[in-house]
Every structure is written in C-alpha cells, then in structure tokens.
Chain A
C-alpha cells in the first residue's frame, strides 16, 4: 500500500471533490425545480410492501383497498378517515390485477376485516393468467413482499427522506416518460427505431403519491387539456384494439377466493368507479354490465357498488376518461363512504 502514500495531496483532492460534488448536486436539483418538478415518492414495490406488511396486524375494524388505478386515485384516504375514524391500507396497483393480492391476503393472512376490491372492467375481467402484464405487475409486488430482506427494508427507510426532499430522484416503477433519473433520461433519448415496432406515445406521470400511498391526480392532468390529451393518447394506443373479455373465466377464479374470505368472517365489497368517453364505450362493448358485473354479483353473492346505480356516484367527469381529479375524488370518497355507512356494511365502530 506504500505506493498510495505518494506526494499527491489527498486532502486537497478530497476537498475539491466534495465541493464539486455538492455544487453539481445542488445545480441539478435547482435545474429540475426551475422546470416545475417537485420531490415526490415513488410508487414502487418497496412502499407497497411496507403497506402490505401492515395487513398482518390488522383487526376486524380495518379496511384494505385492492384493485387497479381507479380505486387508487378515486378513494382518498384522508377523506375516508375523516368520515369513519379509520385510515384504510391502500394496496391497489396502477395497471395491476386485483386477484394476486386477493389471493395473497386470503391464503397467507388471517385478515377478516373489510376488503374493498376495485373493479376496472378491462383488467378485472381479463383472462386470469399469470402471464398477463396486469397480473404480473401485481404478482411482482406480492412476491417481493414475501422475499424482501431486512437490508431491503433498511434501504427503503433510508431512501424516504431523500425522495421527499430531492426532486431529481423522481422516478417510478411504471417508467413514466417524464421520469428524470439517469436511466429514464437515457431511455427518453431517441436513437431511431431499432426494434421495428411503432414507438409508444409518451406516457407522463399524472399523479402524486404520499407515504400512505394515497394518490391524487395532478392539477396539470385535471386542468391542462393539452397534457390530459397525452394521457388519452396512451389509453387509446393500448386499448383501441382490445377484444371482448372471456365470459365467466375471471368470475370463476375469484369466486372461490371470495367464498373463503367471507367464510372466515371477512367483509368483501366490490366497487366499480366511473369512466367516461373512450373507456365508457370500450367497457360497454367489451365488458357489458349484464354479462360481467351482474354475473360477478350473482355468483359471489357479496356486496357490490356500481357507480351507475347511485345518484351521488354517477355524475362525475374523468378528465382523461378513467380517473377522477383530486377534488372529485374527495367528493366521490365522501359519497361512497356515506352509502356504506347508510347500508351498515362497515364495522359498527366506523359509523361515526
């Protein structure tokens, strides 16, 4: 090691490195903030697993939400807590199938409280297949939860203050087109079409997420129509050629899980949130209510709330056809919880 003790001035080099590093980090942060970026948490498997772990200790009075992005955006946890005194655990995954989590909760926990299952027809009634993208997206999180290490937990815990304070760390598991970590910036660089297939339209992040995974649509998406149209283009690109979902397959798969959960005293509630425009038309064509939602209700025999059946749930507009703005999500949550309280389907302790 003696060659390391050369006349080179190591201390001076260290100071120069520290100053340059600090200057670079601050400049990079200031640059992104000047572009309007703010620090936000990443909706990733690490945060999801933290919430999933809480399910292990929940009692009968608790509420857990599973499903896809509609219940993630539309059920606002602070609003729910204000009305019932209970903050639900949010386990819905954007673009993810509800069933892998339902299966996990039913088979691997003793949880017997309230389970709100969001039904986004295009995803929920798709063929139950572990190969599908939506299934894989949720299954990946479930698998991660079961094999995460103490080191993973420590790393995530330490990353939270950084994510909360540094805008330039903004990146998500979904790989949004406007993520700004190095990998995303490289990905956004166009090198010509090498794969021979049409480039996907850019899919920009349109939500903010907090430590409870409470998710709100960004103000920009709710009010800037040019931005909203970028999201609409993505929905059309991926779903325009969608075919009719296979009848009964999903319901048959879910039926047994629902029965097992209800048999141990669990309280399962299905919820179909509003959709408008393109999505409403697609759903009417590919998952018509009579053949899908009604059959789900009939076969499982549990409580279900379809937005079309309630005056207070049906008159909402979805800025990008699929999710509610933050303000509307508050109103929707309020209306939905009041219906649940009126129907006495929540545990007695939540009827405040």
Chain B
C-alpha cells in the first residue's frame, strides 16, 4: 500500500479510530498496530510477509542470545547467523538478478555458453529498510549498546511499524523500542499539525512530482533525438525535482503517522 492512495486514507482512519477510541488497552493497541502493519504490507504481496516474520524471528532470538551469552565464540556465531540470514535475503532478492547477469557475462567472456532459466525474482517491498533495521538491533545488542526489547511484541512492532516499513527512515532500535513501553497520545495541536504535513506531502507528491513534472521529464528522457541545451537541462532539473518531491512528499506522510502516536 502506498501513502498517496485512497486505500491508505481509509486504512489510516480505521487505525486512528481504534487507537483513540475507548476500545483497547495499551498492549492491545500495540497488537492492533502490529496487525495493521502486517496488513499494510500484505495488501501488496501476502506471501512475502513470511520473509518479514523470518527476519523478525531470527533477530529476536539472536538478540536474546547475544545478551545472555558470555562466550565470545558463541556470541560471534549468533551475530553471524543474523548477518547471513538478513544479508542473504537482501542479496538474493535485491541483487540476485544482477549477480546472475554478471556471472553469465563472465562465463561468456571465458568462452563458455551458459544460459540459465530466468529467475524472475520479485523484489519484496522495503526489504532494505527492515533488513538493516533488524540488523542494527542485533549489532547494537552485540556491542552491548542496547538491551533486548522487553517483549516480542515491542520488537516486532519496531521492525514492522507501517509508517516506516516500506520507505524508511531506518531507525536505531534504541531510539524507537523504548517509546513503545508507555502509552502514547498526541495532543490535538500535534494531531492537526500532522494532518497539515500530510496534506503538504500529498500535494508535493501527487500534484507537483507526479502531475506537473513527470510528463515533461519523461518526454526529455524518452526523446529519440538530440535535444538542445535548454531542453536537456530543463529535463534533468525536472527529473531531479520530481524525485526530490517524491521523497519530500513521503516524508511528511511518515512524520504524520509518528505525530499521531506522538513518537519522536
């Protein structure tokens, strides 16, 4: 699910009602946020939630072992388990095709003809963000800069919290997990400020980046002949602004979600 969609507005409204309504206690609110975070991810491609679960489970176990274990060799082993699993997933899904193509080129250069079946690897949304986020947790515990999360729920929410799941930013565990321990409620002013930022973000993304700049930028980059100086530079600047505004537009969307739960 993307932030600039009708589905997200409905999804967000439901979460706010459940969160601020008198229905749930703090633990259940966190469970609700976790459930909706998985739903947010699963509405894109349900089976890929399994990767997210695996990554969460591995780092939860590794984090606890690293905290209790005193034997350095065993500690190194658990750190390696986390690195291999996380970077393995990332390498396979994100760079699998790239590595395969390079391997084929290399083999062909040596004079061998090699044509493997196409792998058609699908890139799981946000895999870099949650991979590095879970790894940062394990590394911080390994370096004794962090004690493990108090509960699995807090840790799973840290990994999966939907506002930052698919587009970051990558947050260090120490900056976020502890904020889940106590109930959070935004003031009305914070809440309204968040809505303003969200509107601004939507404007930047939908009106400026996707509507005003994308057509002209695409026309320049798809041009089939040499362009003059002004057209070429106009295209480059429009393209650059389009991406800047896309990121800028998403940022307030993330911020508003944090503001609505008064997270910093």
- Residue A193 CB within 8 A of the other chain: no
Q: Decide if B215 touches A155 in the complex (CB within 8 Å).
A: no
Contacts A1-B259, A151-B2, A186-B211; A158 near B192 (Cβ below 8 A): no
Q: Which of B45, B187, B192, B262 meets A14, CB within 8 Å? A: B192
Q: Which of A17, A150, A159, A183 meets B43, CB within 8 Å? A: A150
Segment touching A, from B3-11, B25-33, B109-117, B129-137: B3-11
Q: Decide if B45 touches A149 in the complex (CB within 8 Å).
A: yes
Contacts A149-B45, A182-B207; A154 near B7 (Cβ below 8 A): yes
Q: Decide if A5 touches B6 in the complex (CB within 8 Å).
A: no
> Least Cβ distance of B211 to chain A in Å?
5
- Residue A4 CB within 8 A of the other chain: yes
Which residues of chain B have C-beta atoms less than 8 A from A10's C-beta?
Answer: 188-189, 192-193
Q: Decide if A5 touches B192 in the complex (CB within 8 Å).
A: no
Q: Decide if B190 touches A158 in the complex (CB within 8 Å).
A: no
Q: Decide if B44 touches A1 in the complex (CB within 8 Å).
A: no
Contacts A1-B190, A1-B264, A186-B212; A150 near B46 (Cβ below 8 A): yes
- Smallest CB-CB separation from B227: which chain A residue? A194
Number of A-B residue pairs, CB cutoff 8 Å, is 60
Interface size class of A (residues with CB under 8 A): 20 to 34
Q: Which of A5, A182, A183, A186 meets B187, CB within 8 Å? A: A5
- Residue B101 CB within 8 A of the other chain: no
Which residues of chain B have C-beta atoms less than 8 A from A194's C-beta?
Answer: 231
Which residues of chain A have C-beta atoms less than 8 A from B207's C-beta?
Answer: 182
Which residues of chain A have C-beta atoms less than 8 A from B46's C-beta?
Answer: 150
> Least Cβ distance of A167 to chain B in Å?
18
- Residue A247 CB within 8 A of the other chain: no
- Smallest CB-CB separation from B186: which chain A residue? A1
Q: Decide if B44 touches A155 in the complex (CB within 8 Å).
A: no
Q: Which of A13, A14, A158 meets B6, CB within 8 Å? A: A158
Chain A 1-24 against B: per-residue CB contact (8 Å), 1 yes, 0 no? 100111000110110010000000
Q: How far is the CA of A154 from the CA of B46 in the complex (A)?
A: 14
Which residues of chain B have C-beta atoms less than 8 A from A155's C-beta?
Answer: 5-7
- Residue B88 CB within 8 A of the other chain: no
- Smallest CB-CB separation from B259: which chain A residue? A1
- Residue A187 CB within 8 A of the other chain: yes
Q: Decide if B189 touches A158 in the complex (CB within 8 Å).
A: no
Q: Decide if A159 touches B189 in the complex (CB within 8 Å).
A: no
> Least Cβ distance of A290 to chain B in Å?
38
- Residue B42 CB within 8 A of the other chain: yes
Contacts A10-B188, A151-B43; A4 near B7 (Cβ below 8 A): no
Q: Which of A135-163 contact B (CB under 8 A)?
A: 149-151, 154-155, 158-159, 162
Q: Decide if B262 touches A1 in the complex (CB within 8 Å).
A: yes
Q: How far is the CA of A155 from the CA of B9 in the complex (A)?
A: 10
- Residue B1 CB within 8 A of the other chain: yes
> Least Cβ distance of B46 to chain A in Å?
7
> Least Cβ distance of B144 to chain A in Å?
30
- Smallest CB-CB separation from A2: which chain B residue? B190
- Smallest CB-CB separation from A12: which chain B residue? B192
Contacts A151-B43, A194-B231; A158 near B193 (Cβ below 8 A): no
Q: How far is the CA of A182 from the CA of B209 in the complex (A)?
A: 13
- Residue B147 CB within 8 A of the other chain: no
Q: How far is the CA of A182 from the CA of B44 in the complex (A)?
A: 28
Which residues of chain B have C-beta atoms less than 8 A from A158's C-beta?
Answer: 6-7, 10
Q: Decide if B192 touches A13 in the complex (CB within 8 Å).
A: yes
- Smallest CB-CB separation from B234: which chain A residue? A194
Task: Give the A-binding residues of B (Cβ under 8 A).
Answer: 1-2, 5-7, 10, 42-46, 187-190, 192-193, 195-196, 199, 207, 211-212, 215, 219, 231, 259, 262, 264
Given A1-B190, A13-B192, 14 extra CB contacts under 8 A: A1-B262, A6-B189, A10-B192, A17-B196, A149-B43, A149-B45, A151-B1, A155-B5, A158-B6, A158-B7, A159-B6, A183-B211, A186-B211, A194-B231
